[in-house]
Amino acid sequence: MKLLQIKGDKMINVTLIGTGGMIPLPGRYLASCHIEYNGRAILIDCGEGTQISLHKGKLSLNKIDTILITHCHADHVTGLPGLLLTIGNHGRTEPLNIIAPRGSTKILNSLLVVCGFLPYEVRIAELHDTKPQEFNQIGLKITSIPLKHHINCLGYSLELNLRPHFRPETAKELNIPVKLWRLLHNGEDVVVDNKTITPNMVLGNPRSPIKISYVTDTRPVKLIDEIVKNSDLFICEGMYGDDEQLSGAVEKMHMIFSEAAKIALNSNVKELWLTHFSPSMPSPGDYLEAAASIFQNTVIGRDLMSKTLKSK
Ligand SMILES: [Zn+2]
Ligand SMILES: [Zn+2]
């Protein structure tokens, strides 16, 4: 058991809560994604139907610490008042953070007037809309991605940095008592028999983080490629499947499947999940090939599709 803890296996659960854009359809609620790590959760966007889908997926509302908002279009925020009221009914008293692009506070506060009294504090913070910002929530490092849409809009990359593995064999060879192993794994020096042992003497190679990126609503911009680089999971809008709908996508500031796939390819991500489908496309799977011919590991998102990303 001790060895397992020292090894520090970590996991993040990602669940698509709603995969619709603009208008909800039966079985397809509006934009939202749930990311859980170490017993706490971040919700990205909160379109209409979010709380119903969370309930259906048996995802606890009490775990939600922070709600990241991409932008204040109705299909991304109108689920907020109902969700916050239900969270209040569940007895929450701890503050809840809402983080959104510049200019969102006024809009969100107007929306939340209908909540009346909430038994906890809602803290709204704004991020730059033109340059990326880094911050930490629930133990994950988050980087915002300024996007190109009709209003200020941000994507988000979430990373779990992993400490190098501890090498018990080396620690034993150096006669380091087991009770000091954790200190070394946490990056502290220890002294054994008047000799200083530094962490690099007993730790393995650096490890790449577990990385999840979420991008909607936008046209493709260079910054997306840079920030989502090497993501284990890249969740991206695919408003329309057919390449022939490109001009409509340009006009409405959205992306078609092949554009999302090109970003996935250029950014060297491991897996692409498409989401935020137009209501004019009831069966997005019909267009899978438009993306998969460019980036093979493409999956058509659906409500409550879920994946556990584990550290290696
Ligand atoms: Zn949208
Ligand atoms: Zn939008």
**SS3 string of the chain?**
CHHHHHHCCCEEEEEEEECECCCCECCECECEEEEEECCEEEEECCCCCHHHHHHHCCCCHHHEEEEECCCCCHHHHCCHHHHHHHHHHCCCCCCEEEEEECCHHHHHHHHHHHHCCCCCCEEEEEECCCCCCEEEECCEEEEEEECECCCCCEEEEEEECCCCCECHHHHHHCCCCHHHHHHHHCCCCEEECCEEECHHHCECCCCCCEEEEEECCCECCHHHHHHHCCCCEEEEECCECCHHHHHHHHHHCCCEHHHHHHHHHHCCCCCEEEECECCCCCCHHHHHHHHHCCCCCEEECCCCCEEEEECC
Give the residue from 191, 292, 181, 238 showing the smallest Cα distance to 19: 238
Half-sphere exposure (CA, 13 Å, Cβ side) for 71? 20
Q: Is residue 3 predicted with pLDDT exceeding 50?
A: no
Instruction: Tell me which of 3.40.50.1220, 3.60.15.10, 1.10.3720.10, 3.90.1150.10 is the CATH number of domain 2-162+207-310.
Output: 3.60.15.10
pTM: 0.92
Kindly state the average pLDDT of the residues 23-40: 97
The alpha carbon of residue 10 and the mean position of all alpha carbons in its chain are separated, in whole angstroms, by: 16
Q: Compute the distance from residue 29 Cα to the ligand 1 centre, in Å.
A: 12
Per-residue pLDDT at 213: 98
Which of the ligands is closest to the CA of residue 21?
1
Give the residue from 84, 112, 104 showing the smallest Cα distance to 144: 104
The alpha carbon of residue 176 and the mean position of all alpha carbons in its chain are separated, in whole angstroms, by: 39
Q: Is residue 12 predicted with pLDDT exceeding 90?
A: yes
Per-residue pLDDT at 245: 96
Q: Compute the distance from residue 234 Cα to the ligand 2 centre, in Å.
A: 19
List the domain boundaries for the chain. 2-162+207-310, 168-201
Band the pLDDT of 4: cuts 50, 70, 90.
Answer: very low
Q: Compute the distance from residue 20 Cα to the ligand 1 centre, in Å.
A: 8
Query: CB neighbours (10 Å) of residue 171?
Result: 22
Cα gap 87→30, rounded to integer Å: 19
Q: Compute the distance from residue 217 Cα to the ligand 2 centre, in Å.
A: 5
Give the residue from 123, 143, 122, 118 showing the smallest Cα distance to 131: 143
- Read off the pLDDT of residues 145-179 as tens digits, 9 standing for 90 and up: 999 999 999 999 999 999 899 999 999 999 999 99
Per-residue pLDDT at 311: 87
Could you tell me the two tokens for 261?
A: 């796939």
- What does pLDDT average to over the chain? 95
**Cβ pair 181, 169 in contact under 8 A:** no
Q: Compute the distance from residue 302 Cα to the ligand 2 centre, in Å.
A: 19
- Read off the pLDDT of residues 233-288 as tens digits, 9 standing for 90 and up: 999 999 999 999 999 999 999 999 999 999 999 999 999 999 999 999 999 999 99
Which of the ligands is closest to the CA of residue 252?
2
Active site residues: 75
Which of the ligands is closest to the CA of residue 239?
1
Q: Compute the distance from residue 239 Cα to the ligand 1 centre, in Å.
A: 9
Q: Compute the distance from residue 34 Cα to the ligand 2 centre, in Å.
A: 19
Band the pLDDT of 7: cuts 50, 70, 90.
Answer: low
**Cβ pair 235, 33 in contact under 8 A:** yes
Which of the ligands is closest to the CA of residue 279?
1
Per-residue pLDDT at 58: 97
Q: Compute the distance from residue 85 Cα to the ligand 2 centre, in Å.
A: 24
Q: Is residue 69 predicted with pLDDT exceeding 70?
A: yes
Per-residue pLDDT at 5: 47
Q: Is residue 202 predicted with pLDDT exceeding 90?
A: yes
6-10, 192-196, 206-210: least confidently modelled range: 6-10
